[in-house]
Amino acid sequence: MSDDDFMDLVKTIRGRYKAPRILYKSRSIKVAVCVRNTLVDFIVPFHRMDEAIDALTSLSIGTGYEQDLLDQLRHARQLYGDQIEGGNAPKGAQAGRRKAVIPIQYAAAWTYCLLGEWNRLRPEIQASLLNAQSNVKQLVRRWDSYPRAQQLSLITAFLVDRVFRKERIGELESPVENREKKHNPQSYYITYIHPRLSWVRGRLEQNPHLFDFAKAQAFCDVNPKSRVASNAYLRQIFDVLSKLKTNSAGGRGTIKS
């Protein structure tokens, strides 16, 4: 098998050699995913795009065609967000920034809600979040001067920024890590957390067990594949948490909304 044949096979298996397409007549998005070695087309109407992404984030365990389909739909959501939402498509630098912003908004809203579910989380996850908080305290000057809601925004920013570091560089600034600038947690909340917050809270109202993974399984298992989370965004956040250097300055305590 030649190198070209091998790459074609890889692309087919991953189901990613066809870019997402927008179907204007039916106001839908068409993506192609390989299911059991057969390329299958999925067509999702604009008005059901977020519903489909939400369903897949709950179903996917990070591998398989469900994850490929989720990746394709999230990519399409970034590419065609303005058409889906009925706005005018951005151009140039604005388009690049928007592609980075949309997934960050979903991840930020989920993470912010996770911090508000403190009493429902396993002790292992609580300890990891406290460690994240102590890391943020080392980066943010005058931490204790911020109201609690703004502290939660900064912890959210700290975790989400690490998940999307590659996408963020050159497009967006972190409100946590730039010590030369004044930290602005309220701006981060308005720009990244708030836009999808009501949507995430709506999902939690419909299914209050979305965070049951916190009760069902330990956060740090020996086998990474056995970790579960309610969706792909939180799995990425948990991966960041598991890799954080332990900061003993945080001590024992709680994270309250």
**9 pLDDT higher than 90:** no
Question: Does 133 share its domain with 36?
Answer: no
Question: Does 148 share its domain with 64?
Answer: no
Burial class of residue 57 (count of CB atoms within 10 Å of its CB; 0-12, 13-18, 19+): buried
Residue 18 pLDDT? 67
In-domain check, residue 125: yes
Backbone phi and psi for residue 64, each to the nearest 5 degrees, phi listed first: 85, 180
Question: Does 218 share its domain with 124?
Answer: yes
Question: Does 80 share its domain with 107?
Answer: no
Question: Does 140 share its domain with 227?
Answer: yes
What are 135-176's pLDDT values in tens digits? Answer: 999 888 888 999 999 999 999 999 999 888 877 665 567 778
Give dist(CA 165, CA 43) in Å, integer: 31
Q: What is the largest CA-CA distance in the chain?
A: 63
Question: Does 137 share its domain with 20?
Answer: no
Question: Does 239 share its domain with 128?
Answer: yes
Read off the amino acid at residue 121. L
Looking at the structure of the chain, the number of domains it has is 2
* Nearest by Cα to 151 from 100, 193, 122, 208: 193
Give dist(CA 109, CA 107) in Å, integer: 6
DSSP assignment string, 6-36: HHHHHHHHHT-SS--EEETTTTEEEEEEEET
In-domain check, residue 89: no
Question: Does 68 share its domain with 137?
Answer: no
**255 pLDDT higher than 70:** yes
Question: Does 71 share its domain with 103?
Answer: no
| Across 191-197, average pLDDT | 91
What are 125-136's pLDDT values in tens digits? Answer: 888 999 999 999
Domain boundary among 62, 84, 106: 84
Mean pLDDT of the chain: 75
Outline where 148-193 has alpha helix (H): 148-163, 165-168, 185-188
In-domain check, residue 257: no
Question: Does 109 share its domain with 65?
Answer: no
Crossing angle of helices 93-115 and 194-206, in 10° steps, is 40
Read off the amino acid at residue 105. Q
In-domain check, residue 63: yes
In-domain check, residue 176: yes
In-domain check, residue 66: yes
Give dist(CA 255, CA 257) in Å, integer: 7
In-domain check, residue 255: no
Q: Collapsing DSSP states into helix, strand and coil, what is residue 38?
A: strand
Most confident of 23-32, 56-65, 165-174: 23-32
Indicate the pLDDT class of residue 193, thresholds 50, 70 and 90: very high
For 46, 71, 129, 211, 238, the CA distances from 68, given in Å and listed in that order, are 19, 5, 29, 23, 20
Question: Does 174 share its domain with 237?
Answer: yes
* Nearest by Cα to 177 from 142, 140, 231: 140
Question: Does 237 share its domain with 118?
Answer: yes
Residue 178 pLDDT? 63
Domain boundary among 53, 84, 115: 84
Residue 215 pLDDT? 42
Domain residues for the domain of 140 are: 95-250
Residue 219 pLDDT? 40
Residue 194 pLDDT? 93
Give the pairing type, strands 21-23 and 28-35: antiparallel
Q: What angle do CA 234, 80, 86 make, to 5 degrees?
A: 110
In-domain check, residue 256: no
Outline where the chain has alpha helix (H): 3-14, 49-59, 64-79, 81-85, 93-115, 123-139, 148-163, 165-168, 185-188, 194-206, 213-216, 232-243
Domain boundary among 84, 114, 132: 84
- Predicted TM-score (pTM) of this structure: 0.66
